[in-house]
Homo-oligomer: A and B are copies of this chain.
Amino acid sequence: SLDSVMDKKIKDILNRLEYSPFPVSKKLLCTSVKSQGRLASCPAGMSVTGCACGYGCGWDVQGGTTCHCQCSVMDWTTARCCYLA
């Protein structure tokens, strides 16, 4: 019937266009970016979810994607960066 032909057709197109796999397979992926000094930035397209500093120093996020460790002397800064894949 036209009905079943359309059913199959629509599912085929959805699968081929990857309309369905996208939302189902969407995952949260994270990585660390470590730098010397007091700044560490996430790559474009990723978001800072947390930071780590040497010496147990406090931190803030500058410009949305850069971890800034607040001690005047800082040996390393790490940004934890996540995105949806």
Contact = CB atoms under 8 A, between A and B. Distances in A.
Nearest to A25: B23
B27 A24 contact: no
Interface residues of A, number: 43
A54 to B, nearest CB: 5
Nearest to A45: B27
Given A6-B6, A28-B47, 9 more contacts: A7-B13, A10-B14, A11-B13, A11-B17, A27-B84, A30-B61, A49-B50, A53-B58, A61-B80
Interface of A: 3, 6-7, 9-11, 13-14, 17, 19-20, 22-24, 26-30, 32, 34, 47-61, 64, 76, 78, 80, 82-84
